[in-house]
Amino acid sequence: MLRVLLAIVVLALLTAINEPAWAELADFEFTPMIGYAVGGAFRDAASGAFFEIGENRNFGFAFDIKQDDLSQVEVYYNRQRTQLRTGGGLFVGSPLFDLDIQYFHLGGTYGAGEGNVKPFAVGTLGVTRMTPKAKNLVAETKPSLSLGGGVKLMATDSVGVRLEGRWFGTFLDGSGSIFCANGSCELSASGNVISQYIVNAGLIVAF
């Protein structure tokens, strides 16, 4: 996945660099972030059983490249170490297996704030990598998007705090099948989108 991340960074740089914007190349923000993720419930179409991704901490970063006074190109990465759990019957909350979820996204922010307080909206597209820590289950990579917003509280021109919230939608194929190997699938969600909600806080380093 490191190669995927590097490819996204290169794509972002190529998008940001155009002849009228050579003077803006020094305008970057790097923001390591930590936060909390909730949501991710779905029902298995075959058995009717209810499953949910466990609430858990997450960490990641945003790398933003200034385009103009209002917008930035953003490279975004997020990782959660969580569990897939049952969500109904006698075994409410019983963990089935550990699950790593990673988002690799490219998009942008837009904000009209001035001074030290800068509200913004954000939207990104990319992929979700779901890696089950269980025997005979294979990792899945699915397309996904995020929408959200937040605020940047700048202490100086170079340092600040970023607070944000996002919805993430991971899109399954037409069958909703996940964790498939050799033509056999472990689960088949009765819907085509798995939704998660993530809140993050991070330290902005601008340069």
Q: For position 180, which CATH number holds? A: 2.40.160.20
Range of the domain at 155: 2-206
Q: Pairing state of beta strands 184-188 and 28-39?
A: unpaired
Considering only residues 151 and 91, tell me which one the structure prediction assigns the higher pLDDT. 151
| Domains: count for the chain | 1
Q: Which of 17-26, 51-60, 61-70, 137-146 has the lowest mean pLDDT?
A: 17-26
- What was the pLDDT predicted at 13? 47
Per residue in 110-133, pLDDT (tens digit) is 997 677 899 999 999 999 999 988
DSSP state of 93: T
Residue 102 has pLDDT above 60, yes or no: yes
Task: Give this prediction's pTM.
Answer: 0.80
Degrees, nearest 5: CA angle 29-32-38:
125
* Closest-CA residue to 103 (of 46, 171, 155): 171
CA distance 67 to 64: 9
How sure is the predictor about 42, in pLDDT bands with cuts at 50, 70 and 90?
confident
Residue 31 has pLDDT above 60, yes or no: yes
How sure is the predictor about 174, in pLDDT bands with cuts at 50, 70 and 90?
low
* Contact between 79 and 129 (Cβ < 8 Å): no
Considering only residues 39 and 173, tell me which one the structure prediction assigns the higher pLDDT. 39
Q: Which residues of 29-61 are buried (b: 16+ CB within 10 A; e: fewer)?
A: bebebebebeebbbbbeeeeebbbbbbeebebe
Residue 106 has pLDDT above 70, yes or no: yes
